[in-house]
Amino acid sequence: MESSVSRPAGRVVIATRRSRLALWQADHVKQKLEALYPGLEVALLALSTQGDELLEARLDKVGGKGLFVKELESALSEGRADIAVHSMKDVPAQLPAGFELAAILAREDPRDALVSVRYASLESMPAGGVLGTSSLRRAAQVVERFPRLRIETLRGNVETRLAKLDRGDYDAILLAAAGLQRLGLETRIRRLLEPAESLPAAGQGALGIECLTRREDIVGLVAPLADGDTAACVRAERAVSLALGGNCAVPLGAYARVRRGRVQLQAVVAAPDGRRVARAEDEGEASDPEALGERVASRLRARGAEDILAALQAGD
């Protein structure tokens, strides 16, 4: 049966980071576009971003998640690329004017994963055991449950982080399960952490396609790749982040699921030392996920998130 989707002619260029995971993600979108539009030429433009280059500093101290997307957005503005492919957890809660997320693809595993040579779980790690992570969100939720563990900053691409673990710099590390699975490294996972143990980052496990708002041709081109349920969930999660400041200096977890046509959203804000934690949840219509996210953010504030955020700002 002939597809009802119009088949464009020409060439589409995808801007992507240079890491193996980012290239896999961009190639994944490339293959989907080529399958959808036979004859369309799709090329990758691999770029190095500041986020990839500043590996020693903590991300929230050197500019936040925007460091991973700025060079890709420049390529879109300058006409060197038509779309950019991102892991949604790396996309700032608010895009610059003139840009939009044209499609959010079906989500893969949203969970955090424990990777360790020596230990099968966080529970089995001894007092003083060193856990590596670049995420304030992961660190705060771990130390709330396991204050005996020592958290150390871990930056770099997936392979670099695994190499640091394997040479003994850390007893265990936490990574996004989806990234390990996409790279064929799922055998390195010792344990998947359920959302009740470690609430994921907003958008974790989902890929997004960004383009210029004025490129209506591109918006229409990638629209068939979008997954409605995932988009509703990610939009709700991102609305929580935006309402609470929208940056990676906030130890924020937000995770939504669609159940019986409604979006169920959970969120957490935790002090870096894990001693103060605010949690909230609610559900709402999939047609207005931003309103749901804003309601949950309000509940978080009412339950102590405002004090946690104020203390974080005072400590900067």
Angle (CA) 77 97 298, round 5°? 140
Residue 121 and residue 149 in contact, taking contact as beta carbons nearer than 8 Å = no
Q: How far apart are CA 11 and CA 120, in angstroms?
A: 47
Distance CA 179, CA 14 (A): 19
* 90 belongs to the catalytic site: yes
Number of C-beta neighbours around residue 168 at 10 A: 10
**Active-site entry in 90, 109, 112, 171:** 90
Specify the DSSP class assigned to residue 109. Answer: -
DSSP-assigned beta bridge partners for residue 281: 266
The residue written with tokens 């997936």 in the block is 158
Distance CA 82, CA 62 (A): 28
Q: Which residues are catalytic?
A: 90
